[in-house]
Structure 1
Amino acid sequence: MTTDELRESYLEFFVSKGHSRQGSDVLVPTWDPSVLFTPAGMNQFKDHFLGRCKLEFTRATTCQKCLRTGDIDNVGRTAYHHTFFEMLGNFSFGDYFKRDAIHWAWEYLTDKKWLGLDPARLSVTVYKDDDEAADIWHDQIKLPSDRISRMDEDENFWPASAPSEGPDGVCGPCSEIYYHVEGVGDVEIWNLVFTQFNRVGDPPDNLRPLPSKNIDTGMGLERTASVLQGVETNYHIDILRPIVEAAAEVCGQKYDPKSENGRRLRRITDHVRACTFCVHENVYPGPNKEKYVVKRLLRRAVLDGRQMGMSEPFLHRLVPTVAEIMKGPYPELSETTKRVAQVIEKEESSFFATIDAGLDRIERVFADMKAENRVMVSGGEAADMYTTHGFPPELFETLAAEHNLTFDWDGFRSEMEQHGLESGGGQRIELFKSGPMDALKKAMHGSEFLGYDAIEAEGKIVGIIAQDRLCEEIDEIGHDEPIIVVLDRTPFYGEGGGQVGDSGELIGPSGRFEVSDTQREGNFMLHRGHLCQGKLELGESVTARVDKYRRRAIRRAHSATHILHHCLQTHLGTHAQQQGSKVDADWLRFDFTNPTAVGRETLREIEDHVNKHVCKAESVSWQNLPLAEARQAGAMMKKKKKYPE
């Protein structure tokens, strides 16, 4: 079975079980600040799991593009680790639970109509206290007891160790399915997560049963394909081996899986595939967040090439191979191949310009350390390499490990902070957050937004948040910290899409609240400000009045961004897509992608084009349309933004 056939087979199976087939979410979900990249199939359904949005379906199945860097040091060295990979998944939102999830997993894996794997080679793990799952596997699936292992929370709970260590929020036990590969051992191919608890506080008795139990499963596409195709590593399946071979040809090598160069070629394969998808989504190499990850991956791959004798850019030559192999499920890659290759080549050229000097300097550092009997690279040495030669600390650490040396990360970060620079390191971010908004989200769907038709309206106070807790009333004028007032309906626009939030006032029966800013949390509008007079109480009606002059100025700036976007694409090409914007009352900023700097003459032409549109003084109209109709009408959409259907 080919990998493309496996992908379609899985989705077809779960559609036959009443699931709604959903497309892959983007790799960089800007709507979700808790993650840099989409780490799993469930990420696009977080609001479904938390009950924050209206459900159009209670069962879903996807093949999700994912990117993780937690195991980056193992990429190329082990048979199964990747940064970019695809995850097959099936999900239930308060619909079916453990019995169906387990039965369907077994049917798909063993039925000859589907994968037809040998049942005797399958084994499972369950959480040590999950008798329900263990009984289903033993009594209903008829799996022998010696092929059912009970594991602790660090192995079979999601998130790992959540009961004792947190974080608070949705969690649950899981059951992992393994396939025995001769000469390799048991290979995990599927993880069934039973999200049935809400963790609140420290143990004991901190796992509260959820009123609606959910299913979240994940099957690694590449890993399962390697099992079906009988190859010893994911990198030898039909969608990866051609990239490995192409990398070997470009680098003038013969691919030997057991050699160090073989490991380098596998790492190049992984990294160039990951970066092709990232740059396609307009995530370019840069100094911060997800852009830094792309830079790091490209430079690690360049270093691998340099260690195999490459002295000039080569990764960009592999982009067409990636696009060709992945064109079945992702035909859009073919549309941006040239631009993606240009971006990657530019970053390669930049690093090649300094890499030799950097490597020479690092070798001298290692020689000095050996002479001084030191085993740890100092933070100062690493910071100097980063600031002087642009040599990423992760690459320095990798080279140090090859010399059996360690790396002082704390010292490096300290040195960078002293110089006022960012270290490029990541951070651990909780997937689900809890707080004073949780009670509101459970009680109602959100705030009704009236701002398209009105700048003044009546609304009822449904929430008052002060000092990070819900209050019944506020009567303290001039409170140091901003207070948040939530209404059931409001004309105030919450900051979003780059546009700043509205300001104005809330007038109640016995008080006046000055709104300095409006933010949004899911479907709720949060009016931030201070009490100026009297008091406000929960449940009372207020008049919500937007500052109409400021709103009018913001609308002008918003229209200007659309005009500018159109003109940029007219003069530069359709690749000039919006990456971000800031729309304020008296200024705007528009971020867009272009492989090279825009020339002065072209800028003048764009400016003239924009001004011509402005001088026409045409009226502005808008429509609310279903997503499919908006696409057909030619609406431009940010690739990294999640839009409701």
Structure 2
Amino acid sequence: MKNLTGSEIRQMFLDYFKSNGHMVEPGASLVPHNDPTLLWINSGVAALKKYFDGTIKPANNRITNAQKSIRTNDIENVGRTARHHTFFEMLGNFSIGDYFKREAITYAWTFLTSPEYIGFEKERMYVTVHPDDTEAYNIWVNEMGVDPSHICKTEHNFWQIGEGPCGPNTEMFYDRGEAYDPEHIGERLFFEDLDNDRYIEIWNVVFSQYDGKEGVDRKDYKELPQKNIDTGMGLERLACILQDGETNFDTDLFLPLIHATEKFTSIPYAENKMAYRVIADHIRTVTFALADGALFANEGRGYVLRRVLRRAVRFGRKLKIEGAFMYQLVPVVYEIMKDYYPYIGEKIEYIQKLVKAEEERFHATLADGERLMNEVIASTKDKVISGETAFKLYDTYGFPFELTVEMAQESGFEVDKDGFDKEMEKQRERARNSREALESMNSQSADLMNFTEASKFIGYEETICHAKVIACFVDGHQVDVIDEEGDVILSETCFYAESGGQVADSGVLLNGAMKAKVSDVKKAPHKQHLHHVKLVNGTIKCGDDVTGQIDTEKRLIITSNHSACHLLQSALKAVVGSHIAQAGSFVSDEYLRFDFTHFEKVSEEQLQQIEDLVNQYIAQKNPVMIQNMNIDEARKTGATALFDEKYGDVVRVVSMGDVSKEFCGGCHVHNTQEIGVFKIESEESIGSGVRRIVAKSGYAAYRDFVALENQLKEIAGMLKLNGLSNVVAKSTQMLDELNAVKKENAALNASMLVLKADELAKNAVDVNGTAMLVERIDNVEGNTLKDMVMTLRDKIDGVVFIGGSHNGKVVFVSGASQKAVKAGCHCGNLVKQAALICDGKGGGRPDLAQAGGKSDEKLDEALKDVKNKLGLGL
């Protein structure tokens, strides 16, 4: 067995499969591109789904990759066990309809046991197979020479997520020996699947051979027309064994991070290994996720990322590390991983900025959470904090469960862990159900996958084509004739197929006896253009000569919008920052849409600058140049490319003067002046750290400008003005008059408040020398309640708490005089606990605070709780 670094293992694996005819596929971004079914790329096959279901045909049917992945479903086990991670690398080899079980098993066995590669002792290898997979079992025994006593047959060895490709799998394990079996249990650990550190799973090979269907018994699954191989081997696990690490963390992939963390504290690694391991694991996750375009947020993947960082910060507190420190570990991640992921180096400063800001934000949250916990403890009578409360603190407020337990124990309380675990399991179940529903692949269409006859696209230059129908399909099945609706492939076509965010062309196919409308065009597995047709008259059959005509007016608008989309990306980088990355786009004849990663809303001023800049680019009359280039040569020109797009050896580069240069297969104008004019319609958030700009170009943009002008004319008419020049001045005058009326109204309200305050002040009760007043007042805005509380606070020289319901929302305001604050009152804590009861949040200073809630039906319960705290409930 060789002693190899993590980088050496990764490279050896890729080189091995490359020497066996595999194409090395670049690892995909952790943020899925054009796949809304995934929150993160979480396995080697996740980015290859379209190959497996036959939607896309790869350049080589043999693929190998090293895929960075994120999984957080078992995050609480990270650091606690030897092998759990939130970020890890999966080494894989894949066959798309090429080799199958014999070759896949042989490749794996050779790599693991040959002295030329890993060199594991064969007698220390163990294998699992599915009981019905006699073919795999016989290959292991008769061809690989594995002792049958080292093979376990188990029903668990069947891989399936939802519907689509699935099949049995085989796993390879390595026996690390007696040193990792302190109780001397032996092979029972393997055969009974007991939790252990001795028999370590190394590699999983899935034989994707069946088409899984919901409601169909597994034994009745049909064989796939294209059988595939999907494998996965964890780099961290292999490094652990080869470097003889106690755990995955005791390897060169983690130890530099652990040693760097030791510099921030006097507590050594040996005294709290879990804390160090959590920090080392989580900073890798955060660094790579941010580098790939994710951002911290309150929902989606941004929320997951926030939770990961906060967990690490929490363990930093266990090591007595004060202040932000995680951001200082980002360069260490880069140094460990730079051999295979050099792009991280370009983003270190950007990542550190985001991590530091998030750390500082969480330190403030922790301080608030500790105050909230004190309130929970103070209001709990039976010395047990419920699981629901603990989970709510964890899930809603980001307050770690361990800290809840720790603070509870310090006060002589217990936490209902079983109740917390039940709530956590409910959350996991929701995640599992969502994952099973979303991650499944499409079923394969054998006829489309097997149709390989070439079709030529001439649509960049031509809008009319004369071609022969070379194939007809209905619902994925090849037919001779289409008499109503179906899909056809032509020998050559002028119709653009939907791709790269650009919608497909529409138009007609016709000959003397037939006319069909083309409503959509997509790419078949072998990249032929598949035209969806609906017959107007006649029939269309294989061998027919037809003429195709695209809707040229629609194409011209699409072309203008697509070129404008390129200019928009350039303007965004110039105004907002070079860190933005494209997260998707859509170009149609109605509008253009550009999605990009950014950590905050684009301001109105920035949007105006962007719009102005795009129109400047248009007015510069920049020529649009299109070149087909070798991909390496194209990258050297600085052309923008999507991070994880699958490009071929030759790419199409679209340049617009010195303003924009991108990899693009879409349709474009010849000169930017053809775009005419550009107008931004909207900017919004569409998810965690992803913004969207919708815009128009050309005549559609002009119409919108005219519509705005007509609205101004209408306003001018309402203001009885003759032109538009005085609209702003007149509007300002009217606003000033309105504000004067509001001030007068506020003065009247203030007078009424004084009268109301005099009446309410009579209800104050003396508690240990401090005046206390708790009231419910509905249908009053928060600011008005705040004014009333301040008036009452000064009048009674004590504590005032008012709660009310306004438009279905709960409002709490509390005020305390200096005398009351010195006596121990804290208004921020009072409103925060009341808000918690009403499913809300808020807080503030000891002398004045405001909060809100969602559940007004719990308002009286919250007010009762406040009265109890103030000594008024007895």
Further displaced range: 588-597 or 61-70: 588-597
**8 A Cα contact 2:27 2:644, kept in partner:** no
User: Residue by residue, what CA displacement relative to the aligned partner does 1:497-529 show, whole Å, maximum 9, x if unpaired?
Assistant: 333444445557777666666666764767679
* 2:435 matches 1:427: yes
Q: Which has the larger radius of gyration?
A: 2
Give the secondary-structure state (helix, strand or coil) at the position aligned to 2:417: coil
The verdict on how the C-alpha distance between 1:271 and 1:253 changes in structure 2, with shifts beyond 3 A counting, is same
Which of 60, 68, 73 in structure 2 is aligned with 1:65? 68
Tell me, in whole angstroms, the C-alpha distance in 2 between the residues paired with 1:511 and 1:305: 73
- Contact 2:507/2:518, CA 8 A, preserved across alignment: yes
Quote the residue 2:106 is aligned against: 103
Does residue 440 (structure 1) correspond to residue 443 (structure 2)? The answer is no
Question: Residue 171 of structure 2 is aligned with which of 175, 186, 205?
Answer: 175
Which residue identity lines up with residue 472 of structure 2 in the other structure? V
User: Which residue in 1 is equivalent to 2:308?
Assistant: 297
CA contact (8 A) 1:342 1:595 kept: no
Is it true that 1:590 corresponds to 2:594 in the alignment? Answer: yes
1:463 aligned onto 2:473: yes
Residue 397 of structure 2 corresponds to: 391
CA contact (8 A) 1:508 1:536 kept: no
Deviation at 1:632, TM superposition (A): 3.3
TM-score in terms of structure 2 length: 0.61
- Say whether the 8 Å CA contact 1:65–1:84 is kept in structure 2: yes
Q: Which residue of 2 aligns with 1:641?
A: 645
Q: Which residue of 2 aligns with 1:417?
A: none
Within a 5 Å distance, the mapping from 1:126-165 to structure 2 comes to: 126-152=129-155, 154=156, 156-159=157-160
What is the percentage of aligned positions where both structures have the same residue? 34
| Corresponding residue number in structure 2 for 1:406 | 419
Counterpart of 2:286?
Answer: 275
Residue in 1 aligned with 2:336?
325
Instruction: Check whether the contact 1:551–1:585 (CA below 8 A) recurs between aligned residues.
Output: yes
Tell me, in whole angstroms, the C-alpha distance in 2 between the residues paired with 1:200 and 1:597: 44
Q: For residue 357 of structure 1, what is the aligned residue in structure 2?
A: 368
Of the three residues 438, 444, 452, the one matched with 2:460 is 452
Compared with structure 1, are the counterparts of its residues 383 and 472 closer, same or farther at alpha carbon in structure 2 (3 Å cutoff)? farther
| Inter-partner Cα distance in structure 1 for 2:639 and 2:130 | 48
Partners of 1:251 and 1:546 lie apart in 2 by 69
- Of residues 275, 280, 283, the one that matches 1:264 is 275
> Aligned residue for 1:552?
556
User: Using the alignment, how far apart are the partners of 2:103 and 2:6 within structure 1?
Assistant: 26
Offset at residue 338 of structure 1 (A): 0.4
Whether the 8 Å contact between 2:510 and 2:516 is mirrored in structure 1 is: yes
| Cα distance in 1 between the residues matched to 2:642 and 2:339 | 23
* CA 1:402–1:123: 2 relative to 1, 3 Å: farther
- What code does the residue aligned with 1:337 have? I
Amino acid at match of 1:149: C
In the alignment, residue 580 of structure 2 is paired with which amino acid?
Answer: A
Deviates more, 1:290-299 or 1:315-324: 290-299
Give the Cα separation in 1 of the matches to 2:367 and 2:433: 24
Q: Give the C-alpha shift of residue 47 in structure 1.
A: 4.0
Q: Which amino acid aligns with 1:179?
A: D
The size of the alignment, in residue pairs, is 612
Matches within 5 A, 1:82-101: 82-101=85-104
- In structure 2, which of residues 12, 17, 30 is the aligned counterpart of residue 14 of structure 1? 17
Alignment of 1:618-633 (within 5 A): 618-633=622-637
Q: Is the 8 A contact 2:7 2:340 kept in 1?
A: yes
Which residue in 1 is equivalent to 2:323?
A: 312
- C-alpha deviations, 1:263-299, integer Å up to 9, x for none? 2331222111011111111122234443333233223
Report the equivalent of 2:222.
208
CA RMSD after TM alignment: 4.1
> Who is 1:579 aligned against?
583
Question: How far does the alpha carbon of each residue in 1:155-204 deviate from its partner, in whole angstroms, 9 at most, with x for none?
Answer: x2223xx7xxx533243332333333422321111222233333456226
8 Å CA contact retained: 1:292, 1:424: no
8 Å CA contact 1:122–1:180 kept in 2: the answer is no
Query: Contact between 1:65 and 1:85, CA under 8 Å: does it hold in 2?
Result: yes
Is the Cα–Cα contact under 8 Å of residues 463 and 470 in structure 1 kept in the other structure?
A: yes
Tell me which of 40, 43, 68 is aligned to 1:40: 43
Scaled by the length of structure 1, the TM-score of the pair is 0.81
Residues 272 and 622 (structure 1), Cα distance of their counterparts in 2 relative to 1, 3 Å cut: same
Change in 2 beyond 3 A, CA 1:301/1:501: farther
- The 8 Å contact of residues 54 and 445 in structure 2, kept in 1 or not, is answered as no
Residue 625 of structure 2 aligns to a residue whose secondary structure is coil
- Contact preservation (8 Å) 1:190, 1:219: yes
CA displacement at 1:391 relative to structure 2: 2.5
Distance 1:209 1:404 in 2: 46
Structure-2 residue corresponding to 1:480: none
Match of 1:479 in 2: none
Q: CA deviation at 1:554?
A: 2.1
Partner SS state of residue 176, structure 2: strand
Output the amino acid matched with 2:397: F
CA contact (8 A) 1:199 1:206 kept: no
Amino acid at match of 2:625: S
Q: Distance in 2 between matches of 1:385 and 1:67?
A: 21
Deviation at 1:572, TM superposition (A): 5.6
1:13 Cα offset (Å): 2.9
Among 205, 228, 242, the alignment partner of 1:228 is: 242
Q: Comparing both chains, which one has the higher relative contact order based on Cα–Cα distances under 8 Å and sequence gaps of 6 or more?
A: 1
Q: CA offset at residue 403 of structure 1?
A: 5.4
Distance 1:203 1:469, change over 3 A: farther
- Name the SS for the 2:94 alignment partner: strand
Given candidates 257, 266, 271, the residue that maps to 1:243 is 257
Cα offset for 1:553?
Answer: 1.9
Structure 1: 5+ residue stretches without partners: 414-421, 476-482
Letter in 2 for 1:301: A
The answer to whether the 8 A contact 1:581-1:590 is kept is yes
CA distance in 2, matches of 1:104, 1:410: 41
Report if aligned partners of 1:170, 1:432 keep a CA contact under 8 Å in 2: no
**Equivalent position SS for 2:626:** coil
Checking the alignment, whether the CA contact within 8 Å between 1:315 and 1:345 is kept in structure 2 is: yes
Pair 1:554–1:133, CA change in 2 (3 A): same
